[in-house]
Amino acid sequence: MLKEQALYVLAQLEENGYEAFFVGGCVRDWLLKRPVHDIDICTNAQPCDIMRIFPDHIPTGLQHGTVSVKHDGAIFEVTTYRAEAAYSDHRRPDEVRFVSDLREDLARRDFTINAMAMDRHGRLSDPFSGQTDLLSGLVRTVGSAQERFTEDALRLLRAARFAAQLQFDLDSKTEQALADCADLLRHIAPERVRVELCKLIGSDYPWHGVAIINRAELLRVYPELDQLFKLAAPYMHRVRKLTSLAEKWALLLYASGATNEAALSLVALLRMSNRERDKIALLLHIVTEMRPSWDESESIGWEHALLRYGPETCVEANHLLQAIWWEQDEATDSHSQSVIDTYERLPVKSLKELAVTGKDLLTATDKTAGPWIAHTLQHLLEQVALYHKPNTPEWLLAEGRKEVERYEHQTGNTERVSGTS
């Protein structure tokens, strides 16, 4: 469906007297018979011409010749053929000029497998033998590898990422240049490094990409990341069985032996969101908390964790434990279902189901609000859910008063503040 919608855009450009081609990753993936989610189009039409032909558009990046064209609910980036001047910041060209020749546009691209164009009749334009490299399973730069990586240092990580996604090798000159130019990664924002590494560890063959990274010492300008990927390399085959990126990063951090402090430092280095940081830290905490039960996987009791963290997080933690235990890809569906079944059997699952509230505890104990309320409610929840105590106001308030006394004793009475004189 997406391709049919894009064919309309190509046809409209041609009907107005311009050339138009599919270009880049979509062509590569069509030739490999892989799913295509984004389609890019290049043309010799100038941005002003593109906007005239397609009134429903977004002027996405006119300085780079890109207009986003809307058609039938889809959006396609249409970019004028261009050539690029020097990259003084090793990331973006200092100058872009529009050209009329397709080959000149393809020559500026990173790898031969991304430097192919296809017209709407399926005819391929492949001046740099990208199709040959596809058949050979090679990632090769267009022209000099040193020049391509010096222009845009993010291409260093993209090379390893494409190798991981496609299970391709790097040609010898490209791999040598990877090692020679690795220091240029210092010019790349940590957020961009994170995006590429997330795509790599989320790929079908993450161990292959990490092996390339480690051979080239590609992350040497980021010592924490460099150590992580080297220490966690033996676990890379296990990453694929995990579903979320939080699980994958947590496995690598655990496998590397990172302390909580080191894990948080690395997460901060990669500028992950607070939500991602908290989820990774929580998974590592649960795994560490479960450690005494690791002798037999079936003996793990998830009840306490389910009440504290909920079923979704516990299923993720269970995935993580399976990846730590077993090297081979084994189905974890049955283990996940076991965690869910345990949750469903609990007589109460949340504080909302208790017959008393924090306000009731305040009234019954005549104390001022404080952390003791959350502690006591959690204790009562566990008593009802795990030990089948009666979920009645009478029993809960009586037990609540006892637990408050125990809590005050354990905390040295530091939070025992009466509401009356």
**C-alpha R_g of the chain:** 29
Can you give the pLDDT at residue 293? Answer: 58
Q: How far is CA 407 from the centre of its chain?
A: 41
Can you give the pLDDT at residue 416? Answer: 47
Residue 280: burial class (beta carbons within 10 Å; 0-12, 13-18, 19+)? buried
- Residue ranges, the chain, pLDDT below 70: 291-300, 327-334, 413-421
Can you give the pLDDT at residue 328? Answer: 53
- Cα separations (Å) of 122 from 2, 30, 125? 15, 10, 10
CA distance 280 to 253: 9
Can you give the pLDDT at residue 420? Answer: 42
331, two tokens: 């189905």
Can you give the pLDDT at residue 183? Answer: 97
Give one DSSP letter per residue of 263-317, joined into a string.
HHHHHHHTT--HHHHHHHHHHHHHHHHHGGGTTSGGG---HHHHHHH-HHHHHHH
pLDDT tens string 338-389: 889 999 999 999 999 999 999 999 999 888 899 999 999 999 999 999 999 9
CA distance 412 to 407: 9
Can you give the pLDDT at residue 187? Answer: 94
CA distance 91 to 88: 8
337 contacts: CB under 8 Å, gap ≥ 6: none
2, two tokens: 């997406």
Q: SS3 of 175, please? A: helix
Query: Which residues on neighbouring strands pair with residue 68, listed in sequence order?
Result: 58, 77
CA angle 313, 348, 331 (to 5 degrees): 35
Q: Which residues of 11-39 are buried (b: 16+ CB within 10 A; e: fewer)?
A: ebbeeeebbbbbbbbbbbbbbeeeebeeb
CA distance 161 to 163: 5
DSSP secondary structure code for residue 89 in this structure: T
CA distance 232 to 22: 39
CA distance 157 to 263: 22
